[in-house]
C-alpha cells in the first residue's frame, strides 16, 4: 500500500484504488531531539515515526511513537499515528484504542476523524464510518476534503448505497477533477448502474493519471465485456494476469466470476 505524509494525519489514499490515511507532515525540523519542550519532542518523534511508516518499517515507527507519548502523553497526533501503524499491522483492537484515544484528546481534528472513519470502513463498519467522515468535512479549515469525500463514497458503495456513493464522489471530483480514486470508484458506480459507456470514459481518465491496478483492470475488462468488445476485453485480461497474477481479481477471472 502506498504511504504518504500529510498535515496532521494523512491524504489518500493511496494510489491503491482507495484513499489512504495520512501521517504527520515532516517540517524542516532537526531530528536531534535536543529540544527540552515535551510537545516539540513528541512532535519530532511522531514525524520520525511517519517517515518509518512511509518506508514500511513498522517496528521502528512503533518505537518512535512510544518515545513520543512518553514525552507528551497528551499529543493526539502521536496516538493517531499509532492507529495508522496498528491498522497497517492488522492489529485492529490496538488500532481502535489508539484512534479513540486520539479523538478523546482532539475530537475535532479532521485528519484523525478521516483516518478513524477509514479504519471503520476497512473493518466492515461502513455505516459507522460516515459520522467521522462528516465530522472531518465540517471543519472549515480542513485542507483535503476531496480525499474524505472519496473515502465516504467508497464506503457507501461497499454497503450498496449507490446514490450516496455518487453524491460523495461527485463532490470529490468537483473539488479535484483529477482525483484517481474518485474516478475509479465513480466508474464502479456507473458499472453497477449499467451505464457502461460512462464507466469506460471514467476509466480512460483514470488511466491517464496513474498506473493500472488490479481493481482498475478488472473493472475495465468487465466494462468491455458488457459492451461486447471482445478484443479489448482480452487485452485487459492479459494485463491483469501478467501484472497481478496473485490478485483476487485474477483469481476471479480464472474462475470466470465476472460479477
Question: pLDDT tens, 91-122?
Answer: 999 999 999 999 999 999 999 999 999 999 99
pLDDT value at residue 253? 96
Indicate if the pLDDT at residue 28 is higher than 90: no
Indicate if the pLDDT at residue 208 is higher than 80: yes
pLDDT value at residue 20? 56
* Distance of alpha carbon 102 from alpha carbon 159, whole angstroms: 27
* Distance of alpha carbon 113 from alpha carbon 106, whole angstroms: 9
Arch. (CATH architecture) of 1-143? Alpha Horseshoe (1.25)
pLDDT band at 259 (very low <50, low <70, confident <90, very high): confident
pLDDT band at 2 (very low <50, low <70, confident <90, very high): very low
Instruction: Provide the phi-psi class of 16: left if phi over 0, else alpha when psi is between -120 and 50, else beta.
Output: beta
pTM: 0.84
Q: Do the beta carbons of residue 67 and residue 44 sit within 8 Å?
A: no
pLDDT value at residue 36? 72
Q: Do the beta carbons of residue 87 and residue 95 sit within 8 Å?
A: yes
* Distance of alpha carbon 243 from alpha carbon 100, whole angstroms: 38
* Distance of alpha carbon 120 from alpha carbon 71, whole angstroms: 29
Query: Nearest-5° angle of CA 178, CA 180, CA 182?
Result: 95
Domain definitions of the chain by residue range: 1-143
**Tens-digit pLDDT profile for residues 54-63:** 999 999 999 9
Indicate if the pLDDT at residue 247 is higher than 50: yes
Q: Which backbone phi and psi does 229 adopt, to 5 degrees?
A: -95, 80
pLDDT band at 13 (very low <50, low <70, confident <90, very high): very low
Of the CA atoms within 13 Å of residue 149, those in its CB half-sphere come to 23
* Distance of alpha carbon 4 from alpha carbon 201, whole angstroms: 28
Indicate if the pLDDT at residue 25 is higher than 70: no
Structure-block grid coordinates of residue 4: 504518504
Instruction: Name the least confident of 28-42, 100-114, 153-167.
Output: 28-42
Amino acid at each position: 500500500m502506498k504511504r504518504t505524509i500529510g498535515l496532521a494525519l494523512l491524504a489518500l489514499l493511496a494510489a491503491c484504488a482507495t484513499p489512504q490515511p495520512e501521517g504527520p507532515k515532516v517540517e524542516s525540523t532537526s531530528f536531534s531531539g535536543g529540544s527540552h519542550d515535551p510537545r516539540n519532542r513528541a512532535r519530532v518523534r511522531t514525524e520520525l515515526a511517519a517517515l518509518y511508516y512511509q518506508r514500511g518499517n513498522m517496528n521502528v515507527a512503533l518505537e518512535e511513537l512510544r518515545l513520543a507519548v512518553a514525552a507528551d502523553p497528551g499529543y493526539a497526533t502521536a496516538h493517531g499515528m499509532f492507529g495508522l501503524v496498528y491498522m497497517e499491522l492488522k492489529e485492529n483492537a490496538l488500532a481502535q484504542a489508539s484512534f479513540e484515544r486520539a479523538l478523546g484528546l482532539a475530537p475535532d481534528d479532521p485528519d484523525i476523524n478521516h483516518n478513524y472513519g477509514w479504519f471503520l470502513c476497512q473493518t466492515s463498519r461502513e455505516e459507522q464510518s460516515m459520522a467521522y467522515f462528516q465530522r472531518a468535512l465540517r471543519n472549515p479549515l480542513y485542507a483535503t476534503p476531496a480525499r474524505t469525500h472519496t473515502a465516504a463514497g467508497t464506503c457507501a458503495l461497499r454497503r450498496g448505497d449507490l446514490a450516496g456513493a455518487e453524491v460523495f464522489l461527485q463532490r470529490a471530483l468537483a473539488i479535484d477533477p483529477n482525483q484517481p480514486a474518485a474516478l475509479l470508484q465513480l466508474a464502479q458506480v456507473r458499472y453497477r448502474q449499467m451505464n457502461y459507456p460512462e464507466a469506460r470514459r471514467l476509466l480512460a481518465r483514470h488511466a491517464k493519471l496513474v498506473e493500472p491496478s488490479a481493481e482498475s483492470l478488472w473493472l475495465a475488462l468487465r466494462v468491455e465485456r458488457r459492451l461486447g468488445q471482445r478484443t479489448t476485453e482480452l487485452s485487459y485480461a492479459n494485463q491483469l494476469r501478467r501484472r497481478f497474477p496473485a490478485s483476487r481479481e485474477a483469481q476471479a477471472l480464472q474462475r470466470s466470476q465476472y460479477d
